[in-house]
A and B are shown apart, each in its own frame.
Chain A
Amino acid sequence: MIYSLCFVALFMIGLYSILAQRDLIKMVIGLNLVEGAVFFWTITMVREAGGVPIVDLAFPELPMVDPIPQALTLTAIVISASTTALLLTIIVELNRMARTIEIDSLKGLRE
């Protein structure tokens, strides 16, 4: 319940930032917030008790949490970092060409 609330709140902040902001950097920050919310939700989706997902050879029967969400989240974090870096690079180049990063001022893209 509290996890769902936190996830929805983070997701909404990010979505608002993507929809309402006019600054490209702020839109990238919003995208990262949405991604962070999804990572948070994937990790907290497992509600069973258990230790870290590393086998202890002395006590191999000890319960551990589901390792699949952690592996998937690790994959997604790498992809998220890559896309963020590429987006920021495109913004840098856009700023060099158009001298602005406000999407309302980028009229030249239409012609």
Chain B
Amino acid sequence: MKVFLTAIILAFTGGALFVNLGSIPDSFLLSHTASRFYREAVVTETGALNTVSAILYDFRAFDSLGESTVIFATVSGIVLLLSRKTLPVSSAGLSLIVKRTFGILTPFVFLLSVYIILHGHLSPGGGFQGGVLLAVITIIFCIIYGSSFDLSRYPPQRKTLIETTGALLFLGVGIIGIALTGSFLGNPSAWRGVPGTLPSAGSIVPINLGVGLKVGAGLAIIFYSMIQKTLKRQ
């Protein structure tokens, strides 16, 4: 009976989805007006070259603020669920060869993440992608060098501080936007500079930096909470 019911639901949903999606014409656009406006106004209105970044951190920056609030809520929930008074740590890492190799490699991972965050308005990337790469450094420390190394070098309090700094940077840019342009998260035209150069695009660069710090520290806290829990059970 259950299998029969599942099959009926699946067949009905699949058929409805396929019939409806197949009828979309080939020249379909989400919104001609909005899409054309974004493509024409991206350089003149924001100074950025990367249109996706300009949409995320300028035209729809309030949306991104809500998104980083979701990450904050997730981190809070996970830390709350997995909170323990005593955190057991493991100093057992991998072999010496792996440790030496990653000692050379990890600075370049950091460099790549900083590059992706700071060039978010010029090339593919931005705060979210670079922030994930920042969190990779914590994963490398925990797995290659053991989590006691990560605990002694970058304790969770410091990660929380970094995350809060990122969120406050985002909000601060928004409030500066009120002062300079009259609207929350507005892009001050005095900061825009020459399009195509690194210090350009107004408020997009500091917002990218804030989001990068926030996402990196948030994901690092999530990974750290989960791996502590796993180590406790062993």
Contact = CB atoms under 8 A, between A and B. Distances in A.
Consensus secondary structure, chain B interface: helix
Interface of B: 2-3, 6, 9-10, 13-14, 17-18, 21-22, 24, 26-31, 34-35, 38-39, 42-43, 49-52, 55-56, 60, 63-64, 67, 70-71, 73-74, 77-78, 81-82, 122-124, 128, 195-196, 215, 222, 225-226, 229
B155 to A, nearest CB: 21
A19 B43 contact: no
Consensus secondary structure, chain A interface: helix
Nearest to A95: B233
A42 to B, nearest CB: 9
Interface in A42-100: 45-48, 52-57, 60, 64, 66-71, 74-75, 78-79, 82-83, 85-86, 88-90, 92-93
Contact of A8 (B21, B67, B229): B21
Contact of A19 (B6, B18, B73, B195): B6
Given A1-B22, A8-B18, A89-B225, 9 more contacts: A46-B28, A47-B26, A57-B196, A66-B30, A68-B55, A71-B55, A75-B56, A78-B215, A85-B222
A1 B29 CA distance: 16
A9 to B, nearest CB: 8
B128 A86 contact: no
